[in-house]
Structure 1
């Protein structure tokens, strides 16, 4: 192997996306999405650390290393480490070489904790993380619903009750205006997200960053469903986004309810509204990610017809 390790550039995004898909290191990797994610890290108000290297073998991209601070769970002493090796280059020590590069870079940062992850079926990746001193801390399911066989008539969207209206974000924008609608949406999203199960406590959802999701590939105000009071307060949310690689696949993001409005079936009603909309729009599948510890939502998704596809295993190493 004639190896060259160098910093990445935006021009590498198409080849890097291909590598990540081959290595199954990241879901739905695409060049535009990678550019957007890196741009968000570099421009985020908390100024997270970001370091990225690529490994080439005779001009072909075969390895990737990223050391960064996750803005969704930001902590000044915590760093995420992602290493991906193309299947054709695995078993030749490249993963260990990239891990050494990561260790050399981190030595100047004095980290308190490192976080990483891989998929349950990726035995080589699991063994590698164990060898590097990481221990398992958390698991997520990729749950998938086949809309081609989903019997929508069995699952009508229930009335919200309590004077609430079921609106899309597009409806709310039409009624309140762009800025007011996004502010109301953000307030509900930020509160609901604080209670979502995760390995690390979520960081506050900054409005200026939240607002940027409107530019994300596949994101549309027509596929964001909200429960709204007569006074215009958003009390529950669910988001759907079209997959950048597959127009027939949709992803469900956060589904949640503000604390004072829970246990009224609002999250289920919104999720059903989104599922009906996705099926009517011609989507064939819906994916959502759930923590394996979230028994309540897993039970609901199981009744709705979602089936586990693969499990993401999160690891941590305390220094």
Structure 2
């Protein structure tokens, strides 16, 4: 049996579906749909030099990689490679081949510092270490049983605050872009990101097929978005929080909590059965909020870094 690595074939629906299935088996805490995968491949900014790689064994997709330069970081030369092999198809050499192909691509694009998320399991961490990666920060995946669990009751809104939906800003999303840019710049990360290109944000983020504008809740103060929780859905049963944040001038008022609670209640009413989110392990305030909602930690991943000579 021979394992090969190649690019994903975007015009082959079966190939994209196999990519999504392999990703779901390896990382079920994130929403993977063919539409989302194709959107990332076709609409990520060209400067990211983005690639989706497939490890194939005798015609079967057994591993995947998403590879990009951090083009939106103020520090040049940084890249991401996130590699996952189906848990029932390990020890066939797929991971090793995917790492090699991803590193060669990023090095050719000028990357000198590479980052990868690795599930916090002994075999995965040992694999990363063998390839020269060292562990840094970590993050939790959390799951909420929307169908059978209880949600906190909806809270009364403070004076001057109203809750709206992102869909209400469809005619002019720029206020949402400005809020997303501010909160993203403060998000804990190994790679600082600066959202400065409105048109790119529209294409990559606002028009992402997983983003549910009707379930994305926004706390508005004096007519301006002050806090939000961005909802991703598979349009079936699974919901995920893509981002939750508050403008600096409005922090400490519980506005993001109000927005997230509103979104979760409406997601449950719409028939979604389970919700996922993620938090840096050191982000205790957000972890406490998610525990209040009823989320439970279901897995942990560790960021690894390698500097190329």
**Aligned residue in 1 for 2:30:** 27
Structure 1 CA distance for aligned equivalents of residues 229 and 248 of structure 2: 15
In structure 1, the residue matched to 2:113 is 113
Within 5 Å, give how 1:121-270 maps onto structure 2.
Answer: 121=121, 123-152=122-151, 154-161=152-159, 163-173=160-170, 178-179=171-172, 182-212=173-203, 213-230=205-222, 232-243=223-234, 247-270=236-259
Q: Deviations over 1:128-179 (max 9, x none)?
A: 1011111111211111222234444x52323132x22222223455xxxx02
Whole-Å separation in 1 of the counterparts to 2:94 and 2:154: 52
Tell me if the contact between 1:141 and 1:292 (Cα under 8 Å) persists in the aligned partners: yes
Cα separation, partners in 2 of 1:202 and 1:158, compared to 1, 3 Å: farther
Residues 48, 70 of structure 2: 8 Å contact kept: yes
The range that moved more, 92-101 or 252-261, is 92-101
2:56 aligns with 56
5 Å-filtered alignment, 1:81-100, equals 81-100=81-100
1:274 aligned partner: 263
Q: 1:65 to 1:290 in 2, by over 3 A?
A: closer
207-216 or 249-258: bigger deviation:
207-216
CA RMSD of superposed structures (Å): 2.5
TM-score, normalisation: structure 2: 0.87
Larger Rg: 1
Q: Deviations over 1:32-86 (max 9, x none)?
A: 2111111122xx1x61123444333222233334432145657430111233333
Residue correspondences, number: 304
Unaligned runs of 5+ in 2: none
Instruction: Give the stretch that moved more between structures: 140-149 or 127-136.
Output: 140-149
Shift in alpha-carbon separation, 1:318–1:170, aligned structure 2, 3 A: same
The 3 A distance-change label for structure 1 pair 201 and 35 is: same
| Deviation, structure 1 residue 200 | 1.7
- Cα distance change on mapping 1:9 and 1:135 into 2, 3 Å: same
Q: CA deviation at 1:275?
A: 1.9
Cα shift at 1:241: 2.3
What do the CA deviations read for 1:270-293 (whole angstroms, capped 9, x no partner)?
112112212222222221111111
The alpha carbon displacement at 1:27 in A equals 2.7
For residues 26 and 39 of structure 1, what CA distance do their matches in structure 2 show? Answer: 23
Comparing 111-120 with 87-96, greater Cα deviation is found at 87-96
CA distance 1:115–1:26, change in 2 (3 Å): farther
Whether the 8 Å contact between 2:195 and 2:201 is mirrored in structure 1 is no
Counterpart CA distance in 2 for 1:126 and 1:65 is 17
Structure 1: segments with no counterpart, 5+ residues: none
Indicate if the aligned counterparts of 2:141 and 2:276 stay in contact, CA closer than 8 A: yes
